[in-house]
Chains A and B, each alone.
Chain A
Amino acid sequence: MIRCENLHVTFNHGLPTEKLALRGVDLSIPSGEFVTVIGSNGAGKSTLLNTIAGDIESTRGKILFSDRDVTKLPATGRTKDIARVFQDPLAGTCGNLTVEENMALAYGRGKRSNLSFALNDNLRKIFKEQLSRLNLGLEDRLGAEMGLLSGGQRQSVSLLMSALQPSSILLLDEHTAALDPKTAALIMDISSQIIEEKQLTVMMVTHSMRQALDHGSRTIMLHEGKIIFDLSGDNRADYDVKDLLQLFAQARNDGEELDDDKLLLGE
């Protein structure tokens, strides 16, 4: 499970460009829960995910994985627990390595690399088996350079790679946003399969309200670095995209009103 306590992240601290990206996020996600994260641009969705993954250091607050404090642990130290898929299909794989080499890297995630050969027939068999799940014919292209694959194919492989090693947490950062609708649906389908199969704790950032409601069991909305609502259970089942949009608009208006107040007070 993941727990964030009073998480703050400030960029460019003390400079005129200072940005409060996260302003006190309290979040507790039990094991096996699938949370979708929505919010407008700059709301702090990706910052939250990157802070949990360890790419960004928190300014204040704590992050715990199953009661283990990981706040000070660097990103590489958290990869034993965390698998990730990025928005950019190019970000999750190495373009000038082959498909099998990329998969071998993911297969070694969280383990210390040693001086034994990175690839062998046994591994190739596993990779082939996994790739055939995609039905993209990639199982016959193990030796192909990753850069020769299409964005959708690369993202599919990234997704498989995230599941090659057992992990407890999967972070999906708008991982279908850069794909055409058909491929996006395929990727979402495989994601759901993997999540169910491995009983993963998942956080998925998405811009699509539909996707946010259709997947997972809980939805949170971030606005200006804070969680402004948290839907789960029966409550959530009643919600429609329209209701979400309304909440969304409300949140934004609230924010703007506040800003107006500030302006008045300033005068």
Chain B
Amino acid sequence: MSLYAFLGTLEIGFIYGLVAMGVYLTFRILDFPDLTVDGSFTLGAAVTATLIVLGYNPYLATLLGTLAAACAGIVTAWLNLRFNILHLLASILTMTALYTINLRVMGKPNVALIMEPTMLTPFEALGIPAMYMKVIFVAFCAVIGGLLVAWFLNTQYGLAMRAVGSNKRMAQANGIVVNEKVYVGLALSNGLVGLAGALFAQTNGFADSTMGIGTIVVGLAAVIIGESLFSTRSILVIVMSCIIGSLLYRVAVSMALNADFLGFQASDLNLLTAVLVALALVFPKLRREWKTKKAKGERV
């Protein structure tokens, strides 16, 4: 792998680290499998890119893109809480609707940002080559994002949110308003994912209506890889392991794609991802089964 490709891998890894944190908030903290992220990643990118092209300040555009994605999360929560639509289905509905909304926001299938100012423009004066600068910038965003998420989950409010995901009845008996926590959690999660989309659009120079496909699986892969690396109770370590999981996932995938003897093409990415996530999900179960089988064998 060339240095350039490696830096590109790190860059994408850090950006999807933010996605992984969002997925961690819904899947693990709230126990709410949320597929909205496939749409909200694109929404964050689409809103940001469109606003930048319209001449808005890139930082303001990114903020608005993030907020738009957060709203998408609120819609999913509303469908689920207000109308009792199954969480998975509610999120699929929002995701489907977002496909159209994203096309409408951009007015075309993709928006190019190559010649436009981005969040990185103010740092060009530092004289660091763009390929390094990009990695440093997204790494900074991911780490700050991680610190904020970890801090939030350790506050009274964050702890209440974790209780909602763990035991609703207990949460309620302790005066926690369950629905409010789900709304806030989904808004935060999708906001993080939208921010990742906005960063992706600015570092890669485009927003595209199909860029969000598979976001959920990649995010989940990063969470699971991170979890299997560290067994800890520390929220800070768990959140940071989302970033590390995302980086490792990217490195593994780009090595697999780059290894000529394996014969993979770039278009095999999604299959590789699905297989990788399936393996990561299946492995702990298989290991338990082997263990019990072994134990049984010994008794006989």
Contact = CB atoms under 8 A, between A and B. Distances in A.
A and B assemble together: yes
A113 B159 contact: yes
B166 A95 contact: yes
A55 B172 CA distance: 9
Interface in B152-190: 152, 154-160, 162-163, 166-167, 169-178
A106 B152 CA distance: 19
Interface string A87-101: 000111111111001
B234 to A, nearest CB: 10
Given A118-B159, A143-B233, A80 B167 contact: no
Nearest to A108: B156
A84 B173 CA distance: 7
B155 A115 contact: yes
Given A53-B173, A105-B174, A106-B174, A96 B154 contact: no
Q: Which of B152, B154, B163 has the most CB of A within 10 A?
A: B163
Contact of B173 (A92, A114, A115, A117): A92
B167 A119 contact: no
A116 B155 contact: yes
Given A97-B166, A98-B233, A117-B154, A104 B159 contact: yes
Contact of B167 (A53, A79, A95, A108): A95
Contacts of B159: 97, 101, 104-105, 113, 118
A149 interface: no
B154 A118 contact: yes
A160 to B, nearest CB: 13
A115 B157 contact: yes
A114 B157 contact: yes
B232 to A, nearest CB: 11
Contact of A108 (B152, B154, B160, B162): B160
A145 interface: yes
Contacts of B157: 113-115
A115 B170 contact: no
A166 interface: no
Describe B's contact surface by its main secondary structure.
Answer: helix
B167 A113 contact: no
Given A104-B159, A143-B233, A75 B172 contact: yes
B155 A91 contact: no
Nearest to A162: B173
A101 B171 CA distance: 12
Contacts of B155: 113-118
Nearest to B234: A143
A80 B163 contact: no
Given A93-B167, A114-B156, A108 B174 contact: yes
Contacts of A118: 154-156, 158-159
Contacts of B173: 53, 75, 79, 84, 86, 92
Contacts of A92: 170, 173
A76 B179 CA distance: 11
A116 B160 CA distance: 12
B170 A76 contact: no
Nearest to A55: B172
Given A105-B160, A118-B158, A111 B175 contact: yes
A109 interface: yes
Contacts of A53: 173
B176 A113 contact: yes
B233 A113 contact: no
A115 B156 contact: yes
Contacts of A111: 175
A24 interface: no
B175 A76 contact: yes
Contacts of B152: 115
A96 B166 contact: yes
Q: Which of A55, A80, A94, A109 has the most CB of B within 10 A?
A: A94
A73 to B, nearest CB: 12
A110 interface: yes
Q: Which of B160, B163, B169, B174 has the most CB of A within 10 A?
A: B174
Contacts of B171: 94, 105
B148 to A, nearest CB: 11
Interface string A158-187: 000000000000000000000000000000
A91 B233 contact: no
Interface in A201-260: none
Contacts of A106: 174
A170 B162 CA distance: 25
Contacts of B167: 90-91, 93-95
A118 B157 CA distance: 8
A55 to B, nearest CB: 8
14 contacts: A76-B175, A76-B177, A91-B169, A91-B170, A92-B170, A94-B171, A104-B159, A105-B163, A108-B174, A109-B175, A113-B156, A113-B159, A113-B160, A115-B157
Lowest 9 A-B CB distances belong to which pairs? A79-B175, A94-B166, A113-B156, A118-B159, A109-B174, A113-B157, A94-B167, A115-B155, A113-B160
Given A105-B159, A117-B155, 16 more contacts: A53-B173, A76-B176, A90-B167, A91-B169, A95-B167, A96-B166, A97-B166, A98-B233, A104-B159, A111-B175, A113-B155, A113-B176, A114-B157, A116-B156, A118-B159, A143-B233
